[in-house]
Structure 1
Amino acid sequence: MRKLIFGMNVTLDGYIAATGVDIGWSGPPSDELFQWWLDRERAIDLTLYGRRLWETMSSYWPTGDEQPGATAAEIEFARNWRDTPKVVFSSTIGEVGWNSRLVTGDAVAEITRLKAGDGGPMGIGGATLAAAAMRAGLIDEYALATYPVLVGGGTPFFTALDSWVNLNLVETRTFPGGVVLTRYETRR
């Protein structure tokens, strides 16, 4: 069975985007944090995207390695992003590119099917998609890069759940700018 990992930058009060889908609170990550995300992405065999995060990522990373001033890590991230297989869940997008396929049906059923298959870890991103997987008990690991900022509202990292989910802390790390990484595995 494949492992499903949900990781994103998050505010101290638990939001991945402020009201109005504003992610300006995170600013550019430190080189160390960007390298951590790159290493994580290289370990992922398949990435699952909701529509909004797909649109954000696909608007930049297909040519991120060609941008003026791109760092070595950004160049590697862009190449890895293009090469990694992706599944995009949306009922409003007509087509996807860059080593991706589109799923317009039941996201939870498809994620369950993918988890049951062979292969390495899968990453999941996008608040709505991750919330559906969270409610279905499909997420095996949570990675939060918590920024020292309070935004007071917006898109939460965690969704409302019907029952508790017990977790084991597997990593903590502090990055420049006061960003604290915490990783938790679901206790099964």
Structure 2
Amino acid sequence: MPTAHVFIATSLDGFIARPDGGIDWLLQRDSQAEDHGYEDFMADKDAIVMGRGTFETVAHLDPWPYDVPAYVLSKSLSVAAIPKGLQSKVTCLGLTPKELLTELASENLKKIYVDGGQLVQSFLREGLVEDLVITTVPVLIGAGRPLFGTVPKDIDLELLSSRSFPSGMVQCKFRVLA
């Protein structure tokens, strides 16, 4: 079964986007001068899986930022909603996280990057996340889309590493224990 890995940024108050999905607060502080480890993280990933909201945020990016196959898990997004230039790069599926991992195993994929708040929450609730790299941005945005939601039981984490950046961002890597 493929393993699921998270690499995501949050505001200090735990939001990954504004209520309308905006990430201007992150983009204003993200500098090319700081290497937050994204390329190293992606180096061994075979695919990216995102939810509809995340896809709608990144679908307009030119060039398309991913060199690996992208899967969008959504029961409401139709294939017709995928821009023509992305149809060969993006697959839209109405599967559960566990069903997706079974499907990706049949394609011999080993490690996947899971992106998007609701999708990360779904993978966590099903016990499918191996580790999380969370970069905290030193800003309070007051409201928005939270990274974490309700869970059926405590999810224990082990801190593997942490580091800070000149911008004030702090990045922690956690292994999911249970």
- CA drift of 1:154 comes to 1.1
Counterpart amino acid of residue 88 in structure 1: V
> Contact between 1:45 and 1:120, CA under 8 Å: does it hold in 2?
yes
Give yes or no for contact 2:52–2:77 (8 Å, CA) kept in 1: yes
1:178 counterpart SS class: coil
Q: Which consecutive unaligned segments of at least 5 residues does structure 2 have?
A: none
Mapping for residues 130-141 of structure 1, pairs under 5 Å: 130-141=120-131
Distance 1:129 1:45, change over 3 A: same
Q: CA deviation at 1:92?
A: 2.8
Residue among 159, 164, 177 paired with 1:174:
164
Given that 1:30 and 1:175 are in contact with CA atoms closer than 8 Å, whether structure 2 keeps it comes out as no
Q: Which amino acid aligns with 1:154?
A: G
Q: Percent identity?
A: 24
Residues 99 and 19 of structure 1, relative CA distance in 2, 3 Å threshold? closer
Match status 1:18 vs 2:8: no
Which is helix-richer, 1 or 2? 1
1:7 to 2:3 alignment: no
Q: Is the 8 A contact 1:127 1:157 kept in 2?
A: yes
Give the superposition deviation at 1:18.
2.4
Q: Is the 8 A contact 2:46 2:110 kept in 1?
A: yes
Instruction: Tell me the CA shift for residue 171 of structure 1.
Output: 1.7
C-alpha contact 1:30 1:176 (8 A) present in aligned 2: no
Shift in alpha-carbon separation, 1:138–1:115, aligned structure 2, 3 A: farther
TM-superposed deviation, 1:132: 1.3
Which deviates the most, 92-101 or 2-11? 92-101
Q: Is the 8 A contact 2:2 2:105 kept in 1?
A: yes
Supply the AA of the counterpart residue of 1:90.
S
Alignment length (residue pairs): 170
Counterpart-to-counterpart distance in 2, 1:98 and 1:125:
20
Inter-CA distance 93–184: structure 2 relative to 1 (3 Å threshold)? same
Corresponding residue for 1:38? 39
**Aligned-residue offset at 1:114:** 4.5
Partner in structure 2 of residue 89 of structure 1: 73
User: Of 143, 148, 152, which aligns to 1:158?
Assistant: 148
Q: What residue ranges of structure 1 are gaps of 5+ in the alignment?
A: 65-77
Residues in 2 aligned to 1:156 and 1:15: alpha-carbon distance in whole angstroms: 4
Equivalent AA in structure 1 for residue 100 of structure 2: I
SS at match of 2:24: coil
Secondary structure at the aligned position of 1:176 is classed as coil
Match of 2:173 in 1: 183
Q: CA deviation at 1:35?
A: 5.5
Letter in 2 for 1:113: T
CA displacement, residues 33-76 of structure 1 (integer Å, 9 cap, x when unaligned): 45511222232111101011112222104x26xxxxxxxxxxxx
Whether the aligned pair in 2 keeps the contact of 1:2 and 1:114 (CA below 8 Å) is no
CA contact (8 A) 1:50 1:129 kept: yes
Distance of 1:21 and 1:57 partners within structure 2 = 11
Instruction: Give the whole-Å Cα distance in 1 for the aligned partners of 2:15 and 2:153.
Output: 21
